[in-house]
Structure 1
């Protein structure tokens, strides 16, 4: 579950959004309040807020977002429990508060509004409220056996590792199977093997690298593996023969010839030259 929080001044406008019936909003939590619409609730908030004229952002606004799967199964009572536990973690007990759940999208989420001013006219300390909101949401998720942000991140990282390995495997297969001699041939060959190679074009309209799209993921070459940066792929393609190469030809993309960025071209040529020198030395030494 993700938690976000901030202090706001536009209480009525935000609460009206939260209570928007077109979004099938449902009140799931109410504390120290009796009003039945945004105007009445705002007036109740205001009665306490008038005790502290120095505090302009006098309402706390939180958004609590369970994972998609958790959101589908959580009923009103369980969502109310989420709000109660979150209020406890944020040390906001005994304050006016109201929460609405939105189910208008696939991702169920809660809008929680809390009066920043207490019954003594004291403003709640909102220092680092964004970070504290996330930490509180994490603890609530653990208490209620919901999926935590860390668990989601670990799962994504685990899946991402498999995707990286598979893209790299198909990259190596492409080089061995089709032996492409330039970027254009490489892009077509990778597509044949199920990986979409997306050229990265800089502001000057020149090729500076590649992204790889596979199984719903879109990654830079360097994010896949260090051997799949634009310069390293170029070295593998253009350096297959040990003949001297003076320039890298433009790449045809959507029927347009796109020149290779000078920096990328220079990096490729340097890597090829280094490889050629090593090859020559090794051959001379009989290695």
Structure 2
């Protein structure tokens, strides 16, 4: 099961008309509102919101979706039961509620409309809803034995909207770029070219990094909120491994090769050659000579003008100046 939570809205009219008037839509459950007419549903929601006129965005909206593989295991009663359990865990209680089933997708899904002004006129908070949604959706999926998706790669991007669409865009871009860099600084620079900001969270009073977040436009998400693989710890470990792999695959210099040969030879029984000298001595001498050669800066070759001038001076020295 996957829960999607758009931003709270201002208009019950637009939200309810979208959900109720959609082709083949069916109201499964209602609490605190009349359902005989769409106009009555809207009027009842708006009547309660007047108890807290200072709350502009009073429209709560959540969709719950299941895998097509769960279709045979779900009926209306089962979806209502799971929805109520979900709302209880999300602490969305004691308020007006409407649950509508849609059939415009291959997978089973319902829409929940609720009033953020509860029955006592108090505000139902929406802080940290997205994080709680992820945790609770997974918990209920496991509890009810529903199908678990096999990763973000199989999600149909074309059907995504709003925040979910942005999260997947960030996920795809960050995953692609992170596989080509060898440092966090390089990752930050490359993401900036794509219009994505990257910020670190530091341990209080220190320069020790312990978290990472990404931003685009007006939105900002923790790396782990986008995907667990994008947490600071996992992302940093991946990039460090890539940097080490690049070092290991770089061709070694002659001096490095000779050092390796000496190291390997010192771990073996010494074999004598001319004058009973060990082979390691020859390798060490070769290393010394190679380092000397690498440190020598060759003198520049004299240019043609210098050569002609020098030749003229030599001729004048032995034959006198040319008249």
* TM, length-normalised to structure 2: 0.47
Deviations 1:187-218 (A, max 9, x none): xxxxxxxxxxxxx8x99xxxxxxxxxxxxxxx
Alpha carbons 1:72, 1:108 under 8 Å: kept: no
Alpha carbons 1:9, 1:59 under 8 Å: kept: yes
Instruction: Name the structure 2 match of 1:105.
Output: 105
Bigger radius of gyration among the two:
2
Point out 4+ residue stretches in structure 1 off by more than 6 angstroms: 227-230
Which one has the bigger strand percentage?
A: 1
Distance 1:37 1:133, change over 3 A: farther
Distance 1:278 1:58, change over 3 A: same
Alpha carbons 2:12, 2:46 under 8 Å: kept: no
Distance 1:131 1:227, change over 3 A: closer
1:125 is displaced (CA, Å) by 2.0
1:108 is displaced (CA, Å) by 2.6
Instruction: Name the structure 1 match of 2:256.
Output: 278
1:11 is displaced (CA, Å) by 2.1
Alpha carbons 1:4, 1:134 under 8 Å: kept: no
DSSP-derived class of the 1:8 partner:
coil
Pairwise CA RMSD: 3.8
DSSP-derived class of the 2:8 partner:
strand
Mapping of residues 123-142 of structure 1, within 5 Å: 123-142=123-142
Mapping of residues 189-268 of structure 1, within 5 Å: none
* TM, length-normalised to structure 1: 0.52
Instruction: Name the structure 1 match of 2:14.
Output: 13
1:43 is displaced (CA, Å) by 1.0
- Size of the aligned set, in residue pairs, is 186
List runs of 5+ in structure 2 lacking aligned partners. Answer: 153-179, 181-189, 192-236, 266-323
1:78 is displaced (CA, Å) by 1.2
Instruction: Name the structure 2 match of 1:187.
Output: none
Task: Output the CA distance in 2 between the equivalents of 1:29 and 1:276.
Answer: 77
Instruction: Name the structure 2 match of 1:74.
Output: 74
DSSP-derived class of the 1:117 partner:
coil
DSSP-derived class of the 2:17 partner:
helix
Task: Output the CA distance in 2 between the equivalents of 1:227 and 1:129.
Answer: 35
Instruction: Name the structure 1 match of 2:203.
Output: none
Distance 1:283 1:70, change over 3 A: same
DSSP-derived class of the 1:7 partner:
coil
Distance 1:61 1:156, change over 3 A: closer
Distance 1:136 1:31, change over 3 A: farther
1:60 is displaced (CA, Å) by 1.2
Task: Output the CA distance in 2 between the equivalents of 1:7 and 1:63.
Answer: 13
1:7 is displaced (CA, Å) by 2.3
1:57 is displaced (CA, Å) by 0.8
Mapping of residues 132-171 of structure 1, within 5 Å: 132-147=132-147, 152=149, 156=151
Task: Output the CA distance in 1 between the equivalents of 2:21 and 2:44.
Answer: 19
Bigger relative CO (Cα 8 Å, ≥ 6 apart):
1
Alpha carbons 1:3, 1:134 under 8 Å: kept: yes
